[in-house]
Structure 1
Amino acid sequence: MRFTIPVPDAAAHAAARERLDGLVKPVGSLGRLEELAAWLSAAHGCVPPRPLTDVRVVVFAGDHGVSALSAYPREVTGAMVRVFLAGHSGVNVLAEQVGARVRVADIAVDWDVSDVPASVLAHKIRRGSGSIDVEDALLPGEALRAFEAGLSLADEEISTGADLLIPGDMGIGNTAVCAALVAASLGLPAAEVVGAGTGVDSAGLARKVEAVSAALARAAGRVEDPFERLTALGSACAAATAGFLVQAAARAVPVLLDGVFSGAAALVARDIAPGAERWWLAGHRSTEPSQAFALKALGLEPILDLGLRLGEGSGAVQAVPTLRAARAILADMGLLADLT
Structure 2
Amino acid sequence: MSLLTQTIASILPLDNEAAWAADARLNSLTKPVGSLGRLEELVRRYAAIRHDESVKSGRGAIAVFVADHGVADEGVSAFPQAVTAEMLRNIAGGGAAISVLARRFGYSLKVVDVGVKIDTSANPLKGVTYRRVGAGTRNFLDGPAMTPDETTRALEVGIEIARELAGSGATLVGIGEMGIANSTPAAALLCALTGIAPESIVGRGTGLDDTGVRRKIEVVTRALEIHRDTIASGESMLAALGGFEIAAMAGVCIGGAASKVPVVVDGFIATAAAAVASKIHPGLFDHLFFSHRSAEGGHALALEHFKLRPILELDLRLGEGTGAALAMNVIDAALDLLDNMATFESAAVSGKVR
TM-score by structure 2 length? 0.90
Structure 1 stretches lacking a partner, 5+ long: none
1:74 maps onto 2:84 in alignment: no
Equivalent pair of 2:66/2:84 in contact (CA under 8 Å): yes
Equivalent pair of 1:48/1:330 in contact (CA under 8 Å): no
- Which residue does the alignment assign to 2:95? 88
**Percent sequence identity over aligned pairs:** 38
Q: 2:223 aligns with which of 196, 215, 223?
A: 215
Letter paired with 1:237: E
1:187 maps onto 2:195 in alignment: yes
Distance 1:258 1:302 in 2: 10
Task: Tell me the SS of whatever aligns to 1:221.
Answer: helix
Q: 1:111 aligns with which of 98, 118, 121?
A: 118
Equivalent pair of 1:48/1:327 in contact (CA under 8 Å): no
Distance 1:122 1:321 in 2: 28
- Which residue does the alignment assign to 2:10? 4
Partner deviation per Cα, 1:11-36 (whole Å, 9 max, x = no partner)? 12122223323432222221111111
Distance 1:188 1:304 in 2: 23
Post-superposition shift, 1:297? 4.4
Q: 2:291 aligns with which of 280, 283, 288?
A: 283
Structure 2 stretches lacking a partner, 5+ long: none
Post-superposition shift, 1:326? 0.9
Task: Tell me the SS of whatever aligns to 2:62.
Answer: strand
Equivalent pair of 2:51/2:260 in contact (CA under 8 Å): no
Letter paired with 1:235: G
1:50 maps onto 2:60 in alignment: no
Runs of 4+ deviating beyond 4 Å = none
Post-superposition shift, 1:298? 4.1
- Which residue does the alignment assign to 1:247? 255
- Which residue does the alignment assign to 1:270? 278
1:98 maps onto 2:142 in alignment: no
Letter paired with 1:305: E
Equivalent pair of 2:265/2:324 in contact (CA under 8 Å): yes
Post-superposition shift, 1:133? 3.0
**Count of equivalent residues:** 339
- Which residue does the alignment assign to 1:15? 21
RMSD: 1.8
Letter paired with 1:208: K
Task: Tell me the SS of whatever aligns to 2:229.
Answer: coil
Letter paired with 1:61: V
Q: 2:150 aligns with which of 115, 137, 142?
A: 142
Change (3 A) 1:39 1:318: same
Distance 1:101 1:224 in 2: 37
Q: 1:35 aligns with which of 34, 38, 41?
A: 41
- Which residue does the alignment assign to 1:200? 208
Distance 1:145 1:232 in 2: 15
